[in-house]
């Protein structure tokens, strides 16, 4: 079966750096997405990786290793507003998105 694994919850300190991991096993691969979802709100797009390597976008970076079935989202200079759930999703060979359950990130002052 297809599976996306990410930690259920993580805690970090304001101003610090946090890395949220995502491992996947899917039928084919057509890209990996990261979304941010604040409590009670809709998910919003953060990043897309289809080739191996690091994609940097401001304070957020996303890394992909296709051979390892692994990605991470790196958040730098954490701010209180970064408290949210972070969703990892993989597009399989049929261009269907398979979603992880999300990682709830708690930022402490």
Partner 1 sequence: TAGITQAPTSQILAAGRSMTLRCTQDMRHNAMYWYRQDLGLGLRLIHYSNTAGTTGKGEVPDGYSVSRANTDDFPLTLASAVPSQTSVYFCATQTGEGTGELFFGEGSRLTVL
* Site for partner 1 contains 29 (CB under 8 A): no
Closest CA to 9 of 107, 109, 89: 107
Closer CB to partner 1, 30 or 61, in the complex: 30
Cα distance between residue 89 and residue 4, in whole Å: 7
Binding residue for partner 1, selected from 11, 44, 65, 79, defined by CB under 8 A: 44
Can residue 100 be called a binding residue for partner 1 (CB under 8 A)? yes
Q: Where does residue 76 rank: exposed (0-12), middle (13-18), buried (19+ CB within 10 A)?
A: middle
The answer to whether 41 contacts partner 1 (rule: CB under 8 A) is yes
69 interacts with partner 1 by CB under 8 A: no
Residue 48 interacts with partner 1 (CB under 8 A)? yes
Query: Least CB distance from residue 48 to partner 1, whole Å?
Result: 6
101 is a site residue for partner 1 (CB under 8 A): yes
The Cα–Cα gap between 109 and 98 comes to 34
Which residues lie near partner 1 (CB under 8 A)? 4, 8, 30-31, 33, 35, 41-45, 48, 87, 89, 91, 95-102
């Amino acid at each position: 079966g297809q599976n996306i694994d990410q930690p259920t919850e993580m805690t970090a300190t304001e101003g610090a750096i946090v890395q949220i991991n995502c491992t996947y096993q899917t039928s084919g691969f057509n890209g990996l997405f990261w979304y941010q979802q604040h409590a009670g709100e809709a998910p919003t797009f953060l990043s897309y990786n289809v080739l191996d390597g690091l994609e940097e976008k401001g304070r957020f970076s996303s890394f992909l290793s296709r051979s390892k079935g692994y990605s991470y989202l790196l958040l730098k200079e954490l701010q209180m507003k970064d408290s949210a759930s972070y969703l990892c999703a993989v597009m399989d060979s049929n261009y269907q998105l398979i979603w992880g359950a999300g990682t709830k990130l708690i930022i402490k002052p």
